[in-house]
Amino acid sequence: MKSKHTIIWSPRAKNQFFAIVDFINEKWNKNTADKFIDKVNKSIIALQSMPDAFPESNKKKIRRCVITKQTTVFYCLEKNSIELAAFFDTRQNPKKLKKKI
């Protein structure tokens, strides 16, 4: 069985993740925010066991994992680790993504 990759959160990814959780808490409620956190955790578990299963983005070495229809995480796959580079709200202008990753 393959060993799981270590997950590394970039400072940008951490900030964006917490900003999304805060937004969900304010706009809806804690229960909805907790469901989002669960989806992120399940996605990270999937990334760890099958990091190649997710498609590459337009930039080489950067892959994307859709967490919800509104949120995508971009990550870089290394030999023994996965760096979460950025969380992106898909309702934003895609040109903003270039600045985020």
The CATH number of residue 19's host domain is: 3.30.2310.20
Does residue 63 contact residue 56 with C-beta atoms inside 8 Å?
yes
Size of the chain in residues: 101
- Assigned domain for 84 exists: yes
- Assigned domain for 34 exists: yes
Q: Give the predicted TM-score (pTM) of the model.
A: 0.84
- Assigned domain for 26 exists: yes
Quickly tell me which residue has 């578990």 as its tokens: 45
Order of strands across the sheet that contains 81-89: 6-9, 81-89, 71-77, 62-68
- Assigned domain for 10 exists: yes
- Assigned domain for 39 exists: yes
- Assigned domain for 1 exists: no
For the chain (101 residues), the mean pLDDT of every run of 10, in chain order, is 81 96 94 97 93 82 93 92 92 58 57
Per the structure, the count of domains in the chain is: 1
> Which residue range is the domain that position 11 belongs to?
6-100
